Amino acid sequence: MGKSLLSIENLSKTFTLHHMDQRITALHDVNLHVKEGEFVGITGKSGSGKSTILKCVYRTYLPHDGDIWYNSEQLGMINLAYAPERIITHLRRYEIGYVSQFLSVMPRTTARELVRQAVLEMGHDLEFAEDETVRMLTHFELERGLWDSYPATFSGGEKLRLNIARAMVKRPRLLLLDEPTASLDQASKEKVKILIEQLMREGTTMLGIFHDLEFMESLCSREYRINKGEFQVV
């Protein structure tokens, strides 16, 4: 196993609910380490803080304490907890992918455009982007009739498959997966699994949350269990 890719150290995150004058400690002193090439799983009850960890890594949330060291291929060691926006934008474009638990889609962008855009922004040409888009949408068995439609009206499973396709088509160096199989049937789960395995062979490192423990344990090399915002290593 390779060197350290991601090191979360003493991470804490508190939310203040102003209207209720209340504070919620979502994460307390969390430590987590991922080496290059690993697939690390996070498990725990609903509300225990799993998504908050991934969102801090992707910087959807700003942590309030702690460090998130990411060893970037292009930029060297970066503390994601403090890095400026332009660094985060760069890493999201070229190195770190994220499949969110709930898909928010951009209005007036078709399924095909969403996936193609993800490839284009990495600097590839249009022909390559188009080929990769077709390959991905075909792999996830998104109905051809939907390719040029707007995802706003897609079913939950269709949105999710599109979301995964969009993240995976970039072959990111680090892929964050927040319950990517939650509303999928068995056949679609298999499709996700095949792609995860393919990406792992190509060197993608993954940090993922799955409610389907059997699915997760068939893939992951290590697991962290979180309980009310704190970790117990399994």
Ligand X SMILES: Nc1ncnc2c1ncn2[C@@H]1O[C@H](COP(=O)(O)OP(=O)(O)OP(=O)(O)O)[C@@H](O)[C@H]1O
The closest alpha carbon to 143, from 120, 166, 111, belongs to 111
Residue 196 to residue 88: CA distance in whole angstroms: 24
47 binds ligand X (CB under 6 A): yes
**From the CB of 181, what's the least distance to ligand X, in Å?**
13
Q: Nearer Cβ to ligand X, position 116 or 159?
A: 159
In the range 101-120, which residues lie near Mg ion by CB under 5 A?
Answer: 101
102 binds ligand X (CB under 6 A): no
Q: DSSP string of 112-146?
A: HHHHHHHHHTTT--HHHHHHHHHHHHHHTT--GGG
Site string for ligand X, 128-167 (x = CB under 6 A): ----------------------------------------
Under 8 Å between Cβ of 67 and 10: yes
Q: Give 96's Cβ-side CA count (13 Å radius).
A: 26
51 binds Mg ion (CB under 5 A): yes
Decide which of ligand X, Mg ion, none touches 151; Cβ closer than 5 to 8 Å per partner kind: none
Q: Which residues make beta-bridge pairs with 22?
A: 17
Query: Which residues of this chain interact with ligand X, rule CB under 6 A?
Result: 15, 24, 26, 44, 46-52, 101
Query: Which residues of this chain interact with Mg ion, rule CB under 5 A?
Result: 51, 101
